[in-house]
Amino acid sequence: MTRNPARDEAVPSATCGPTAPRELESVRRASVQLLSILGHELRNPLNALVTSAEVLRSAPPGSAVAESARAVIARQTRKLSDMVDRVLEVGHLMTDDVALSIQPTELQAALQAAVSAAAPQADASGHALALDAPNPIRVNADPVRVAQVMAQLLANALRHTPAGTAVVVSLRRDGGDAVIGVRDTGPGIDAAVLPHVFDPFAPSRRGADRTGAGLGVGLALARRLIEMQDGSITVASAPGRTVFEWRMPALDP
């Protein structure tokens, strides 16, 4: 019998096994979620830009109304630029396209600097920042990235803490680890959301309510930077108390 080489060759399959449809569906849902979040977050600054441009076109040059419109345009443009930067940084981190400068880093001083940097934001939102770091602890880390992670964790805590209460940053040893804690007294994280808080473009703490939630990339950035520095981060939450804990190996015995 004559063989037909074309017929005998393996035919490429459109799927790669039983998990392919689920993976494709996961990608599709993530894409839809990203587009929905971007649309939600872009709407307000774009509306403000359009309105301010119309005001600026009709307002007398140099008037208070014109200057106010210019200020709004500048502020909203910076906000849009920051959104783009954050989305791009998530992409860089997820593909390991980031250089680190790992060196012995003293965490007590790093946390003091982080709290000082966040103080204006805390003052503006009516919060107190407290630091409980009685002893210096050294780790191998990138000081710039430590500051970036702390900025994300503190911004997240301040966003979800009622005015008039405190966000507490702590530092302690646990065996051979240094443990940084960031505790807030907000409403807590929904049980359905809790497993996904570190996912890129994660839902807000209260699920469907995205009021003040932002793009949902801050905690994803924080986790990736922590993992790249041989650390780990966990979160525990209940109504009135949420605690993020960042662990990394300590250098000192």
| Torsion on CA atoms 161, 167, 173, 178, rounded to nearest 10 | 70
Task: Enumerate the CATH 1.10.287 domain ranges in the chain, comma separated.
Answer: 20-94
Instruction: Check whether 81 has a pLDDT greater than 60.
Output: yes
pLDDT in the model for residue 109: 95
Task: Enumerate the CATH 3.30.565.10 domain ranges in the chain, comma separated.
Answer: 103-249
User: 96: phi > 0 → left, psi -120 to 50 → alpha, else beta; which?
Assistant: left
130 in helix, strand or coil? strand
Residues 6+ apart with CB under 8 A from 231: 141, 246, 247, 248
pLDDT 10s digits, 21-54: 665 665 566 566 666 666 666 777 788 888 889 8
pLDDT average, residue stretch 104-123:
94
For the ranges 22-36, 90-104, 189-203, 232-246, the maximum mean pLDDT occurs at 232-246
- 233 neighbors 223 (Cβ within 8 angstroms): yes
Please give the biggest Cα pair distance in the chain: 93
Instruction: Check whether 179 has a pLDDT greater than 90.
Output: yes
Residues 6+ apart with CB under 8 A from 12: none
- pLDDT confidence band for 6 (50 / 70 / 90): very low
**Helical H runs in the chain?**
5-8, 20-58, 64-94, 107-124, 143-159, 218-228
User: How many H helices and E strands in the chain?
Assistant: 6, 7
pLDDT in the model for residue 170: 96
Question: What CATH number does domain 103-249 carry, 3.40.190.80, 3.40.50.10090, 3.30.420.10, 3.30.565.10?
Answer: 3.30.565.10
pLDDT 10s digits, 212-234: 445 567 788 889 899 999 999 99
pLDDT in the model for residue 137: 96
Q: What is the pTM of this model?
A: 0.67
pLDDT in the model for residue 244: 96
- Strands 166-174 and 177-184 turn out to be antiparallel
Q: Please state, in angstroms and as integers, the Cα–Cα distance from residue 183 to each residue in 29, 129, 149, 165, 241, following that order.
A: 32, 10, 15, 11, 7
Residue 44 CA, distance from chain mean position: 20
Q: For residues 26 and 33, give the distance between their C-alpha atoms in angstroms, rounded to a whole number.
A: 10
- Looking at CATH, the fold of the domain delimited by 20-94 is given as Helix Hairpins (1.10.287)
Q: How many CB atoms lie within 10 A of CB 246?
A: 24
Between 117 and 253, residue with greater pLDDT:
117
